[in-house]
Amino acid sequence: METILVTGGSGLVGNAVKTISIDYTGKYNFVFISSKDHNLLHMNETISMFEKYKPSFVIHLAGHVGGLYLNINNKVDMLEKNLLINFNVIKCAHDFKVKKMIACLSTCIFPDKVTYPIDETMLHEGAPHFSNDAYAYAKRLIEVHCKAYRENYGDNFICVTPTNIYGPHDNFNLENGHVLPALIHKCYLAKQNNEDFVIRGSGRPLRQFIFSEDLARLIMILLEKHNEDNIILSVPETQEKSIEYIARLIAQNYDYEHRIKFDKNYSDGQFKKTVSIQKLTNLIGDFNFTSLEKGIQLTVGWFIRQKNNAKL
């Protein structure tokens, strides 16, 4: 049985792949790696991991990630740690003759000044938004690195670019988590303490959110059936929603919508990142995405049940 090695196995998407891996029982041996198992910042530990598991396939999800304010305030850390992790994993995937690797990028890598909707051809047409440029450039280099190995050695290394991911097992930290899980935690605390549910910024920025298990299923479809590079994985443009809309959905799940406030003293970050999924649709046809309403309901429910074990 062939082995699929999943880096970042304890994270949001890694856990989603773990959840759906039951559908592949008897077909693949999944190995989920977290930083507690192997520190991918160090080449010797990365080599040891590949020597131990000898994977046929790699789903590379590991990274040093966080929300808007972590990206703004810790640019050196975001750049250097991600450069090291990605270099080590990609180099070892080549050296150990992995059959196929899917590496996960982020839509923040696309240029700030761009026409919408964004598609895969626009990746290197300008600088990313200043708020997360260090992280974005580190992620862009994954695409450059994988392309170089494809061109020089014929390695089947491809990249996928998901939009904002959310779901169970996310990082719900109030300062360093992404916007949706941080708001889930924040609303919980506001209701517990009988305080206003305060959203930083105006609430006007627009985002496309993809449920983590939907993303995991798309990754497995691409792993098994397609070799196209740099595919945007997202819900359609028509499902783009404002941060205010997201906050109100979250508050509805707590029956706390009447206490929402917006603090416009905080930056909104990039106003929109609208992407096209035409390439994905052409490749696999229609996909039944989990609705935002259902996905948030599932995620809030998971957080309430697992709060003592969640990443806070």
Query: What amino acid positions are annotated as catalytic residues?
Result: 135
Say how far apart CA 180 and CA 30 lie, in whole Å: 28
Scan for tokens 């909707």, then name that residue: 117
Cα–Cα distance for residue pair 310/66, rounded to 1 Å: 15
Number of other CB atoms surrounding residue 156 within 10 Å: 16
For residue 166, the cross-strand partners are: 211
Where are the alpha helices (H) located in 110-209, listed in sequence order? 133-153, 179-192
Tokens of 11: 């994270």
Give residues with Cβ within 8 angstroms of 239, minimum separation 6. Answer: 208, 209, 289, 292
Q: What is the CA radius of gyration of the chain?
A: 19
User: How many distinct helices (H) and strands (E) make up the chain?
Assistant: 10, 12
- DSSP conformational letter for 155: -
